Amino acid sequence: TCRKRCWLKDILYIDISSCIVAYGKKKIDNLSTERDRLNYDINTLKDSIKKTREYVRKTENRLKFKQRFLHRLRYICKRKHHR
């Protein structure tokens, strides 16, 4: 029997010859169910990454606006003091 091993984080090995995945200490015989579950997990992670990126972008824009506002205030204050 030809056994190909694919070392991942939690998966011990994938036995392609008999379509069995040893996940931790538990064997998974139904690969399609496992594949669907993993696809769902991947999509959930992608969505969460996308939302995090959007949040970071919004926060960065707010910060830039506040920085510009601060610079203007400093400029106005300096001009008032120099008169």
Has residue 3 been placed in a domain?
no
- 2 Cα distance to chain centroid: 35
Residue span of the structural domain in which 71 resides: 11-82
Has residue 76 been placed in a domain?
yes
- DSSP 8-state code for residue 81: H
Has residue 22 been placed in a domain?
yes
Q: What is the pLDDT of residue 51?
A: 94
In the chain, the number of structural domains is 1
**Nearest-angstrom CA–CA distance, 16 and 5:** 8
User: How high is the mean pLDDT of the chain?
Assistant: 75
What pLDDT band is residue 78 in, cutting at 50, 70 and 90?
Answer: confident
Stretch 21-25: mean pLDDT, rounded? Answer: 54
**pLDDT value at 53 more than 50:** yes
The two tokens of residue 80 are 């008032």
Q: What is the pTM of this model?
A: 0.49
Has residue 2 been placed in a domain?
no
**pLDDT value at 47 more than 80:** yes
Has residue 32 been placed in a domain?
yes
Compute the C-alpha angle 25/28/32, nearest 5°.
150
Residue 16: in which H helix or E strand, if any?
A: none
Has residue 41 been placed in a domain?
yes
